[in-house]
Amino acid sequence: MTRRVPKLAFTEGTKLMSIGSPPKSLNTVGVVTHPRRNCDELFTAIVGWVRARGARLIGLPEEAPAGVSHADQLPGEDFASTADLVIAAGGDGTILRALALAAPAGIPVLGVNLGRLGFLAEVDPPELGRALEAVGAGEYRVEERLALECTLHTDDGPTTVRAFNDLVAWRTPGFGQAALAVSVGGELFARYAADGIIVATPTESTAYTLSVGGPIVSPVVDAILVTPLAPHGLFNRTLTIAAAELLEIDVLGESAPVVVERDGARERELTPGTRIAVRRSDAPGLLVRLGWTSFYGRARRKLQLADPIELGNTREVKDNPRPRA
């Protein structure tokens, strides 16, 4: 089956085609917020837009923000299945939390950046009004983001979690190095004595993996990145495998206990003899994209990439720089 590959930008003035399963109507809008961010102005814009459409507004009981106190409060298991669209206001952590709620129900998420970097967000607060108008007019598309299904095989039985950014297995401080074996498709690739291993999606390639020397990967690439953390050995490069391949990480007998984190949240500690199996999830994350910028434009802006041509040449280049004999 051929996967549809989304474009990274849209032609100005054209009707935008959606990818995935966008809602046919927007009768119910869910809001996920950062608990410590001031969202009052955003709530005013969202509430006005929802009321103008005659739609229903829902929130999560544990948040119940004052700005949308009149919204219906639904528990997490009912929240996404009821919503046609989820608006996540916060940083990347808030958007990842919204994706975790919305992905199983196939509901798209519009990210509004209230954080420092907000790489997953589509708009900043001043653009929200225009963004809502575009969404209401259907001038958007839904971009699929690879999610990882991660199964932790322990003595207590298997536990499966979903990650949209990364799964990190790292040593418990004070107990020595982690000893980890990485296998792909049942075949051993490498054993590492290291601080740990990052297993990341292309979405995460601009985050933790990048900070340890990993590559920037376009989100339309269907791949899983495996990057060792401070390995004791010469090989410290990122391994890129197809998303369809099975990745397995074994905690070896001589290893220190390993802490597993998923999208920044601690899951549990694994002891030697346990295994982590990672494969593509059948419930990808869905992000609303408006076409106002591309992944590369967003990366250039968010990562503050300096352009040496724009900076100018600060020294004079002589016609013949070679010294005379």
- Give the C-alpha separation, 288 to 130, whole Å: 14
Residue 224 scores a pLDDT above 50: yes
Report pLDDT for 312.
Answer: 59
Report pLDDT for 313.
Answer: 54
CB atoms within 10 A of CB 8: 17
Q: Which of the pair, 132 or 4, is modelled with greater confidence?
A: 132
CB atoms within 10 A of CB 231: 21
pLDDT band for 145, please (50, 70, 90 cuts). Answer: very high
Q: Report residue 33: phi and psi, to 5°.
A: -125, 160
Residue 222 scores a pLDDT above 80: yes
Report pLDDT for 9.
Answer: 40
Residues 2-31: what's their mean pLDDT?
52
Residues 74-97: what's their mean pLDDT?
91
Q: Report residue 167: phi and psi, to 5°.
A: -120, 125
Q: Which residues are catalytic?
A: 92
Report how far apart, in Å, the C-alpha atoms of 248 and of each of 220, 226, 256 are.
Answer: 23, 11, 18
Cβ proximity of 182 and 176 under 8 Å: no
Report pLDDT for 203.
Answer: 93
Report pLDDT for 238.
Answer: 96
